[in-house]
């Protein structure tokens, strides 16, 4: 039951407000749950047989209680207009002393009209205890509209004016009734994160709903997913990561395999990927993809064991690596099994000595956010490091419209859990996606997102490719351009993680040589190295470029009629053939710039001597269409980097 039957009693409850026990929020009784005296609800829900107030507890006995149709057990306290607006959660412990399972729900009446807001039903097994946390500001309270006779999920209205709290006990069966008793204790009204002190760590760590880096700075992921394990045969992982960084990403989520379904990636492969990410100032989120949509907890545990096996590649990189245990484990949305499976998986990783921040995907193929919302706190609490964050994937189900997106994100953040949108697209098989609002709202509430995916989607979802190739492709107009250059995209919102921004970017350059004049035939090369150090706090280009430009000066001397004449020729040596604009990446912009130069376009930016040397792919005395052709062939993967440079034998 989702509350409709009980909500129908809201009007009656309001009418009987004055008939219940006295007491106010400001003046607490000596005994009772939270220090308040509780009493049986009168006039309806006649299943209650007794209410006993103890020291910070209340025990309710009941008999022949049904599923809420007419004979539920009810007890309440009038708060007479208490202000709860500063609080985020209400929690207590519920102990079922009965021989049967029971269903429990709470309702909060607020405002002058006593609006009724009811929680979801909570099942408590016979003889068991359950810690209950109600999120007062989340959009997950059922409200019954008497005019339309419909239920809808809302936030609690008029939280500054709480009139009454009702507690309800029911049978879990449509046909059977229950009898027994239930005790509630440990009443707490709290702000999110109140009383929690989070110690900084040497790597990424969660601070409530905030992800912080090793410098204690908040970090918002802006990046993409990279299908490494399926395309490693291309052997261009460095070029791919370099290109992703050059476009402005600060994070890349890398698809790996533990061997359960795909070819297992070795510790050496992972170490190389981490090294490359660090080289290009990317945060690496590592995930095992083999268990996607599986419900077997053993498969998730195997994924966790994979990270234990490759720990040699991970230890020492806590500040640049996040362990995303498994992609979209669990096809259903069984919160209980999701919770227990991830508790075991987190334990496996911690027992291996890994202290990295751990990321857990939601169930329901990544879109079942309720698993994180309702089970995430238990997973986090189980971790001795208290360093677990969560990921929801947003396609047509979880990301279909602004209302859903906001509800998903707010529902998790309200629980003070750290969240990232680990995947999203602009459309999918389950419907259209409001990608613009995902990017906008994530910016507003300061959480990260990672687009799916850079390249490599198979039929019929090729439309989710951001680029036409792993390296040297063009951005897709409907997706890649939106992620990179669109409003709230990488170029606008991505910032390099401060663990990299604090590192100096060092480049080595060479001053022009000193000309030497002599009466003897001489060649003199003089090299002076100057090291320039620049520290950038923030940048939208995650690009590392360490190059050495060598300038060679040759002095040619001739002697005529007792005179000596020295002619000096300076030649700049190329640093990266094809990189005309000298930004450290070979891309389409280099072709455009060189073409404009050849056409003698007067409005182009000045090309440096180094850039002109880089452009001379065909080793002759000219820059012409033959050089353009070489760069274009390289970007189209028709030739390798080694084949990019050719020697022209016709024009020496």
Task: Give the catalytic positions in this structure.
Answer: 328, 423
CB neighbour list of residue 401: distance below 8 Å, 6 or more residues apart: 434, 437
Rounded Cα gap, residues 421 and 372, in angstroms: 12
Transcribe 113-157 into DSSP letters: TTEEEEPPPEEE-TT-EEEEEEETTSS-EEEEETTTTEEEEEPPT
Distance, CA of 419 to chain centre: 6
The whole-angstrom distance between residue 469's C-alpha and the CA centroid of its chain comes to 24
Closest CA to 216 of 199, 192, 228: 199
Q: Is 411 helix (H, G, I), strand (E, B) or coil?
A: helix
Report the alpha-carbon distance of residue 289 to residue 366 in Å, rounded.
12
Residue 534: in which H helix or E strand, if any?
Answer: strand 529-534
Residue 335, CB half-sphere, CA atoms under 13 Å: how many?
13
Hey, is 560 helix, strand or coil? strand
List, in order, residues 6 or more apart from 323 with CB less than 8 Å away: 286, 307, 314, 349, 354, 356, 357, 358, 359
Radius of gyration of the chain (CA): 33
Q: Where are the alpha helices (DSSP H) in 232-334?
A: 237-246, 267-279, 297-309, 311-314
Rounded Cα–Cα distance for residues 74 and 44 (Å): 8
The residues, ordered by sequence, that sit 6+ positions from 149 with a Cβ below 8 Å of its Cβ are none
Q: Helices 369-382 and 335-351 meet at what angle, rounded to 10?
A: 40
Round to whole Å and give the CA distance between 442 and 408. Answer: 12
206 and 221 in contact (C-beta within 8 Å)?
Answer: no
Residue 552 φ/ψ, nearest 5 degrees: -105, 125
Closest by Cα among 247, 305, 222, 237 to 270 = 237
Q: How many angstroms separate the Cα of 422 from the Cα of each of 225, 234, 297, 349, 451? A: 8, 25, 21, 20, 7
The DSSP bridge pattern shows strands 251-256 and 222-226 to be parallel
CA atoms within 13 A on the CB side of 198: 22
Task: Give the containing element (helix H, strand E) for 103.
Answer: strand 102-110
The closest of 355, 413, 342 to 386, measured between CA atoms, is 355
Q: Are strands 141-145 and 48-54 parallel, antiparallel or unpaired?
A: unpaired
Residue 46, phi-psi category: left (phi > 0), alpha (psi -120 to 50), beta (remainder): alpha
Nearest to 36 by CA among 49, 20, 50: 20
**Distance, CA of 371 to CA of 365 (rounded, Å):** 11
Q: Tell me if 191 sits within 8 A of 180, measured CB to CB.
A: no
> Cα(72)–Cα(64) distance, rounded to whole angstroms?
8
| Burial of 7 per CB tally in 10 Å (0-12, 13-18, 19+) | buried
- The Cα-based distances of 299 to 21, 304, 326, 350 in angstroms read 54, 9, 9, 18
């Amino acid at each position: 039951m989702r509350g409709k039957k009980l909500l129908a009693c809201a009007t009656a409850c309001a009418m009987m407000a004055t008939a219940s026990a006295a007491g106010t929020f400001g003046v607490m009784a000596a005994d009772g749950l939270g220090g308040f005296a509780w009493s049986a609800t009168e006039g309806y829900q006649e299943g209650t047989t007794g209410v006993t107030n103890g020291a910070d507890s209340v025990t309710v006995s009941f008999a022949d209680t049904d599923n809420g149709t007419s004979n539920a057990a009810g007890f309440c306290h009038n708060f007479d207009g208490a202000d709860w607006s500063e609080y985020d959660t209400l929690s207590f412990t519920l102990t079922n002393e009965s021989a049967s399972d029971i269903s429990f729900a709470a309702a909060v009446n607020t405002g002058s009209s006593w609006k009724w807001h009811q929680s979801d039903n909570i099942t408590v097994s016979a003889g068991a205890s359950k810690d209950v946390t109600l999120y007062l500001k989340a959009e997950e309270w059922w409200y019954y509209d008497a005019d339309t006779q419909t239920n809808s999920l809302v936030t609690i209205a008029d939280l500054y004016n709480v009139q009454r709290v009702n507690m309800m006990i029911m049978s879990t069966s449509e046909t059977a009734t229950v009898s027994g008793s239930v005790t509630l204790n440990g009443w707490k009204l709290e702000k999110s994160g109140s009383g929690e002190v989070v110690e900084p760590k040497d790597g990424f760590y969660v601070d409530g709903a905030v992800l912080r880096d090793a410098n204690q700075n908040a970090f918002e992921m802006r990046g993409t997913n990279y299908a490494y394990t399926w395309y490693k045969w291309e052997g261009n992982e460095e070029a791919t990561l370099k290109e992703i960084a050059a476009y402005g990403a600060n994070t890349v989520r890398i698809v790996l395999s533990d061997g359960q379904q795909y070819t297992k990636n070795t510790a050496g492969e992972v170490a190389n990927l981490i090294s490359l990410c660090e080289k290009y100032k990317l945060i690496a989120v590592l995930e095992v993809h083999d268990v996607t949509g599986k419900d077997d907890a053993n498969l998730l545990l195997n994924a966790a064991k994979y990270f234990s096996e490759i720990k040699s590649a991970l230890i020492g990189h806590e500040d640049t690596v996040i362990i995303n245990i498994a992609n979209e484990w669990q096809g259903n949305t069984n919160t209980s099994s999701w919770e227990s499976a991830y508790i075991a998986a987190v334990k496996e990783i911690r027992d291996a000595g890994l202290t990295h921040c751990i990321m857990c995907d939601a169930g329901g193929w990544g879109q079942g956010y309720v698993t994180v919302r309702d089970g995430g706190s238990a997973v986090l609490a189980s971790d001795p490091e208290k360093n677990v964050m969560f990921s929801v994937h947003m396609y047509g189900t979880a990301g279909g419209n602004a209302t859903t997106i906001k509800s998903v994100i707010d529902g998790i953040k309200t629980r003070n859990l750290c969240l990232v949108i680990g995947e999203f697209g602009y459309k999918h098989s389950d419907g259209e996606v409001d990608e613009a609002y995902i990017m906008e709202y994530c910016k507003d509430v300061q959480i990260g997102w990672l687009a799916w995916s850079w390249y490599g989607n198979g039929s019929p979802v090729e439309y989710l490719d951001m680029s036409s190739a792993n390296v040297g492709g063009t951005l897709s107009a409907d997706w890649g351009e939106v992620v990179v250059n669109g409003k709230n995209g990488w170029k606008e919102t991505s910032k390099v993680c401060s663990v990299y921004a604090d590192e100096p970017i060092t480049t080595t350059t060479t001053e022009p040589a000193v000309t030497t004049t002599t009466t003897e035939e001489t060649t003199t090369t003089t090299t002076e190295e100057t090291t320039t150090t620049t520290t950038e706090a923030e940048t939208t280009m995650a690009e590392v470029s360490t190059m050495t430009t060598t300038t060679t000066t040759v002095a040619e001397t001739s002697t005529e009629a007792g005179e000596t004449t020295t002619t000096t020729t300076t030649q700049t040596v190329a640093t990266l053939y094809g990189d005309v604009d000298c930004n450290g990446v070979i891309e389409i912009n280099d072709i455009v710039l060189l073409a404009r130069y050849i056409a003698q376009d007067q409005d182009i930016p000045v090309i440096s001597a180094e850039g002109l040397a880089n452009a001379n792919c065909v080793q002759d005395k000219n820059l012409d269409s033959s050089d353009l052709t070489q760069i274009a062939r390289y970007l189209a993967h028709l030739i390798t980097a080694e084949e990019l440079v050719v020697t022209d034998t016709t024009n020496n």
